[in-house]
Structure 1
Amino acid sequence: MNLTISGHHLEVTPAIREYVQNKLERIIRHFDQVIDTHVFLAVDNLTEKEKRQKAEINVQVSGKTLHVASVAQDLYAAIDMLMDKLDRQILKHKQMLKDHNRTAIKRLDVDEADVAAA
């Protein structure tokens, strides 16, 4: 997995880099077929002070790119919300891959269709 962490109006310190890497371990534990990951951290000069810290991530998995964004008052809180959202999307993607290969009911025989409907 290639990991790129970049910051806008923000210096990416080793502590922030390590925090993001530790949070990404949970994602890798659920779905290990991640090809490329780009994390974008920013501090915006918004009038709403409670939504100044922004975190975005693009995760490229086989055949799809997942994009998640979150904003919060604290950068670490934004990263936590980001990883929670990404975890839900990864699990949803994994479930879609798992369920995708099922045989359609119209392709089954009549006896098998009765069993599948029950």
Structure 2
Amino acid sequence: MKIEITSKIIEITPAIRERIESRFNKLERLQVPLITPHVIVSKERLMFNIEATAGIPNGKLFAQAEHEDLYAAINDLGQKLERQLNRHTEKPLARRAQSPLREQAEPQEADAEVDA
């Protein structure tokens, strides 16, 4: 996968590139194709800011992370993206609106009204 990494403040070293690519490789294990991932690295005063966007089928992922340590910020960013991707893949299984418990509770309430 080709990840576009942009930074105006600091130079992207091979170690930084490798860390970012390893975090995105963990996301690929979830069997969801990432479309054109883009990472922006910036620094404001003492904090590193990292933003990432990636397209997925039927949606888009976006996450930001901020930390004093660049590598810790990359890890936080990866965790945020992983949570979003898990939520996206598990969404069809949730089906809260079609819960069988809700359907069973409604007829019992109607019977109680008829008896009164």
TM-score above 0.5: yes
Q: TM-score, normalised by structure 2?
A: 0.76
Partner of 2:60: 65
Q: 1:59 & 1:84 partners in 2: Cα distance? A: 14
Task: Name the aligned partner's letter for residue 71 of structure 1.
Answer: E
Q: CA deviation at 1:14?
A: 0.9
Q: Say if 1:38 and 1:57, in contact at 8 Å, map to a contact too.
A: yes
Which consecutive unaligned segments of at least 5 residues does structure 1 have?
106-112
Partner of 1:6: 6
Q: Does 2:99 align with 1:99?
A: no
Q: CA deviation at 1:79?
A: 0.3
Q: How has the CA–CA distance of structure 1 residues 117 and 11 changed in structure 2, closer, same or farther, with 3 Å as cutoff?
A: farther
Q: How has the CA–CA distance of structure 1 residues 99 and 16 changed in structure 2, closer, same or farther, with 3 Å as cutoff?
A: same
Which consecutive unaligned segments of at least 5 residues does structure 2 have?
106-116
Task: Name the aligned partner's letter for residue 15 of structure 2.
Answer: A
Three-state SS of the structure 2 residue aligned to 1:66 is strand
Q: 1:86 & 1:31 partners in 2: Cα distance? A: 14
Q: TM-score, normalised by structure 1?
A: 0.75
Task: Name the aligned partner's letter for residue 3 of structure 1.
Answer: I
What number of residue pairs does the alignment pair up? 102
- Rg (Cα) greater in structure: 2
Identity of aligned residues (%): 29
Partner of 1:110: none
